[in-house]
A and B are shown apart, each in its own frame.
Chain A
Amino acid sequence: MKKFMILNGYDAGAPSSVSRAAAFFKKSWPEDEPEQCLLLCPDEDTAVKLAGRIPWNRITAVIKAIYDPEPLLALLARETTADRLYLFGDDPDSAGLAARLYGRCGGSSCIGVCAAEQENEQLFFRKRVYSHHMEARFLARKLPCFVSLAKGLPPDTETGYTHPAPNILVLEDENAENEISFLENSKENSLETAKLLVAGGNGAGGPEGLACLQELAACMDAGFGVSKPAAMGGWAPLSSVIGISGISAAPKLCIAAGISGAAAFFAGIEKSGVILAVNTDPEAPIMRLADAVVQGDYKEILPELIRLIRQDRSLS
């Protein structure tokens, strides 16, 4: 079965995303390589930089200044053939492309795949379901198959691959960009790469309750994120949401305070090296899911912790 990779270069986090997709392919099909890697990029410079994260030579860059899925879908649909696996990256726009292409071309699709297995000519995929409480194994019944990767998979340990210059295909920007305005440009979300993370949730009771956690994050040089309910309440920006619908972080240390540890949130911190939880409710799920837990009010404990950190840092 031939495989085709389609990777999105519009995200500020694209280099990491491309590296994770390459690692996934190498792990799943160590003896194989994609028939073609398609890089969707805003410009040629980006394409050349991202190509250095791809271990294989057959790379084509599709250049379009402003991301618009419609012309990209039209192009991809024209190129789709019935006997292939189309593998997309782990960013949400790639998942959207995979889903739309499936709707347009038929076959099968699995979004958010964490592992692939090929047994003879049969393709199986693993992914998290039931709010990440369960892992499902699916058989792809038909080809073409459009798959996007789960967030938070391990990156390729090798980088700096050298290649001939990728083939370039330029798509003209049409009318769409006249209607599009960017309210906030993408920047690589520091939570995804943070080595230390402080997270707060509904238990904070409001934005003022999060202040103490933000202060702790600042004095540790840590990332600061929240659960979805806290962001929905307007206590923190949507870009700081951790969990299934937000960021998947993998810090060495995560401090979760005032967070119940609902599965939708925990999915975003489960790859942490060490998790410390502070919660008043001993029955909260986080009290079973963390490495160390404190049953108590974080508003009493964290100020002491901040004082200790500052004291130690002023001595060093």
Chain B
Amino acid sequence: MEPDLDVLPDKEWLADERLRVETTFLPFMWNCFDESALAMALHLHRERGDISLSAFTIAPSAGETAMRTLYALGFDHCARLDSGEADLRFAPEWTAELICRYCEKTGGFDVLLLGQQSAEGNNSLTPALCAEKLRVPCISRVTELHCADKQRLSVSYACNQGLTRRQMSAPLVLSVGNAQISCLPAPTLKAKMTLGKRPVERLTYEDLGLSETSMDNYAGLTLAGLEPVSRKRAARQITGNTPKEIAETLYKDYIQKALEEKP
């Protein structure tokens, strides 16, 4: 889960003395890749009913409502580790350690699905680090997931050689990218009122055998600066009395020249 960065006004994109941007007041939402991963897990569950689904998030308490929605959608177990004051933006190593410890605590997994990157940190490291810590194969940029047979999964993913499908056995780490199934469905009111009332397990660092003070030992990079990116352009207003007039201005002032220059 992450803040909706698109609603932060331009003038608010400033780093404070701790190199943080104030985003705590922004709406909290699913990361788009995480949402695809969750939707993919539900789809797999529909294909094969005997799959047990667990969801784990590292988030403040605001994330708990969304986790209850996952119960209503069919997840069997949801857990939230309260990140407290810890700065997880650029801490993929620590995040991967927490995820792996959670996997161990719950007795392992067959498939670990993760979103490929967060909007804030844009680290693109956590799934790969999880796979290496857990010593299981990792497929990146997963677009589709199906049951191939009782033992194997059919994983579609994008790679440099093209869109690819591969049949693989568990355990697996899958990093979900631009997936075909990208949105979680809305739960029924009945499911919300029954399944959605189940408590979300609350975890602390200590529950996973860690202490927040050890976080820094995992870091590979130190954030040394954070500056806003200026992207503004002239934004000349093109107006006219009719669509035809507007089109003529666009054509005459910009498009005609570009078409002439195109080889």
Contacts and interface: CB of A to CB of B under 8 A. Distances in A.
Given A134-B21, A139-B221, A305-B247, A185 B166 contact: no
A139 B137 CA distance: 30
A158 interface: no
Contacts, number: 272
A186 interface: yes
A92 B165 contact: no
B116 interface: yes
A260 B129 CA distance: 34
Interface string A88-120: 000111011001101110011111100000000
The A contact surface, by secondary structure, is mixed
A27 to B, nearest CB: 19
Interface of A: 8, 10-11, 14, 42, 66-67, 69-70, 91-93, 95-96, 99-100, 102-104, 107-112, 124-125, 127-142, 145, 176, 179-186, 195-196, 220-221, 228, 231-232, 234, 238-239, 241, 244-246, 252-253, 255, 260, 262-264, 266, 270, 274-276, 285, 287-296, 300-305, 307-309, 312-313
Contacts of A14: 160
B123 A111 contact: yes
Contacts of A275: 233
The B contact surface, by secondary structure, is mixed
A135 B33 CA distance: 22
A298 B223 CA distance: 43
B232 interface: yes
A149 to B, nearest CB: 12
Contacts of B138: 69, 96, 100
Interface of B: 5-6, 8, 10, 13, 15, 21, 32-33, 89-90, 96, 116-117, 119-125, 127-129, 131-133, 137-138, 140-141, 143, 156, 158-168, 175, 177-180, 182-183, 219-229, 231-239, 243-244, 246-248, 250-251, 253-256, 258-259, 261-263
Contacts of B243: 296, 300-301, 303-304
Contact of A294 (B125, B127, B228, B250): B250
Given A180-B166, A305-B255, 18 more contacts: A102-B128, A108-B221, A133-B229, A136-B225, A142-B220, A195-B261, A196-B258, A232-B182, A234-B180, A238-B143, A245-B33, A263-B6, A276-B250, A294-B246, A301-B250, A308-B247, A308-B248, A312-B251
Given A92-B160, A180-B165, A308-B251, A135 B133 contact: no
A53 B115 CA distance: 34
Contacts of B177: 92, 245
Contact of A252 (B131, B234, B248, B261): B261
Contacts of A112: 122, 124
A296 B161 contact: no
B221 A185 contact: no
Contacts of A290: 233, 235
Contacts of B32: 228
B259 A220 contact: yes
B119 A131 contact: yes
